[in-house]
Amino acid sequence: MITITPHMHILLATYPVDFRKGIDGLAAVCRNILEADPFSGYLFVFTNKKKTSIKILVYDGQGFWLCQKRLSKGRFRWWPNLSDSRANTLEASQLLLLIWNRNPATPTAPLWKKIPN
């Protein structure tokens, strides 16, 4: 299980990646493009080109976790500008907003949404 805590280091890749990549391919992106150690315990957050999905890669000391969220409709509304650096840091609260398809820069919208019956 992955628990997101306030003290975690989170790196958000600004450029989309090929989502056919699995753990080894994303770990290579961490090393070669983000210039970060995939074994560091950081959470690495990636999106696909269409911004319909995100993947999170993290090493927990025993092995890697790879989580994916694909939106049932629409796209993730917020992602850093591609002219920024290769990766941006996020706080845990900002990652939670991103996962809920909210803008981490303006956390005013409610996180919970009623699921229709």
Domain edges within the chain: 10-99
pLDDT of residue 44: 97
The predicted model gives 14-38 an average pLDDT of 95
- Distance between alpha carbon 66 and the CA centroid of its chain, in Å? 10
pLDDT of residue 6: 84
DSSP per-residue letters across the chain:
-----TT--EEEESS---TT--HHHHHHHHHHTS---TTS--EEEEE-TTSSEEEEEEE-SSSEEEEEEE-SSS--S----TTS-SEEEE-HHHHHHHHTT--TTSTTS-S--PPP-
pTM value surpassing 0.75: yes
